[in-house]
Structure 1
Amino acid sequence: MLQKYETLLLMSPELGSEARQELLDTVSGIIDRDGGKVLVVDDWGIRDLAYPVQKVMRGYYTRLEYALPGEAVAELERNIRIADGIFKFMTVKLAETYEPEGE
């Protein structure tokens, strides 16, 4: 059963657009591989941080909304933790079940 999640990624501001897209493709590929579906990719751009994170005061924010089986979220987060270029993330469950519209 798919559940609806949202993950906010904070990436290094020094990454180029190609490197950021490659990271997002990797994360999206993991979601697809584990039987999920990416619903929304929302780029917020570079923003100032409230406090330094790893001595950096700015970060590139991207919000992902997706449907994924609950047991696959741990694997997704493990891959995000080891990815170079992502230095913070937060995952929130939006809905207990995901019902695709029109299906």
Structure 2
Amino acid sequence: MRKFETLLLLSPEFAAEERQTILDNLTGVITREGGVVDLVDDWGLRDLAYPVKKKTRGYYVRLEYTAPGQLVAELERNIRITDGIYKFVTVRLGEEAEAEEVA
């Protein structure tokens, strides 16, 4: 199991409930596939450096989780089919996590 970080850029037009539903679905994918969500860091609404889908603002959320490597492909597949997520990037943060760190 390794530590990963996924940064999401969500549509600024979503209400708080809609954003929470999307995040609940993504964290559900992580836990269902055998991972552990370490942190959901809500960065909020920010100005973008350049327009994305004709929008100049976006809502940023950062997910940190510990998971097996194949989980990332399933999570990114779910992100791609979810409407309202404009961009995302996933980065591996560290090497193998110890079993006692995950529990």
Query: TM exceeds 0.5?
Result: yes
State how far apart, in whole Å, the 2-side matches of 1:40 and 1:98 are: 16
SS in 2 for 1:27: helix
State how far apart, in whole Å, the 2-side matches of 1:19 and 1:35 are: 25
State how far apart, in whole Å, the 1-side matches of 2:16 and 2:88 are: 19
Matches within 5 A, 1:43-82: 43-82=42-81
Q: Deviations over 1:64-98 (max 9, x none)?
A: 00011101111110100110111100000001212
Name structure 2 gaps, 5 residues minimum: none
State how far apart, in whole Å, the 2-side matches of 1:96 and 1:102 are: 13
For the 8 Å contact 2:36–2:102, the answer to whether it is kept is no
User: What is the aligned partner in structure 2 of residue 13 from structure 1?
Assistant: 12
State how far apart, in whole Å, the 2-side matches of 1:72 and 1:90 are: 14
State how far apart, in whole Å, the 2-side matches of 1:78 and 1:27 are: 10
Name structure 1 gaps, 5 residues minimum: none
Identity over aligned pairs, percent: 63
State how far apart, in whole Å, the 2-side matches of 1:93 and 1:13 are: 27
State how far apart, in whole Å, the 1-side matches of 2:102 and 2:52 are: 42
> What TM-score comes out, normalization by structure 1 length?
0.94
State how far apart, in whole Å, the 2-side matches of 1:31 and 1:87 are: 20
- Structure 1 residue 102: deviation in Å? 8.3
CA RMSD between the two structures: 1.2
SS in 2 for 1:35: coil
SS in 2 for 1:101: helix
For the 8 Å contact 2:12–2:45, the answer to whether it is kept is yes
How many residue pairs get aligned? The number is 102
